[in-house]
Amino acid sequence: MDGKRPHKKHFHEEYHERHHEKHSEENNDNDKNKEELVYNLEKCVFCGICGEICKKGAIVVDQINRTWDLTKSLCVKCGHCIRKCKVGALEFT
Ligand code: SF4
Ligand code: SF4
């Protein structure tokens, strides 16, 4: 009997820890939502790779007119474009 009590207490502690973890995850998600993809006009060479890699079609690069455009509502913040940009023109802020 005595052996079960500490175990039960431990279960409760674990429950609270899990609850706390869930809260932390939610907070992290909120932080992620604040991040925004930004591009550096001075670094960009308009290669178009980021536009090709983005499966959401959030980035449109016009290589002829040298323009870069992001549709924020389509971006899921996966970061693929950032990793593929060879000149480091993209980042989350
Ligand atoms: S991959 Fe980088 S350099 Fe190329 S168009 Fe995109 S932001 Fe510009
Ligand atoms: S972070 Fe992902 S979804 Fe957003 S523009 Fe880059 S590749 Fe597309």
CA of 86 to the centre of ligand 2 (A): 15
Is 84's C-beta closer than 6 angstroms to any atom of ligand 2? no
pLDDT single digits (tens) 1-10: 554 555 555 5
At 37, which helix (H) or strand (E)? strand 37-39
Indicate the Cα dihedral angle 26, 31, 37, 39, nearest 10°. -160
Which atom of ligand 1 is found nearest the CA of 88?
Answer: 2
The verdict on pTM exceeding 0.75 is: no
Tell me the ligand closest to 84's alpha carbon.
Answer: 1
pLDDT digits (tens, 9 = 90+) for 36-84: 999 999 999 999 999 999 999 999 999 999 999 999 999 999 999 999 9
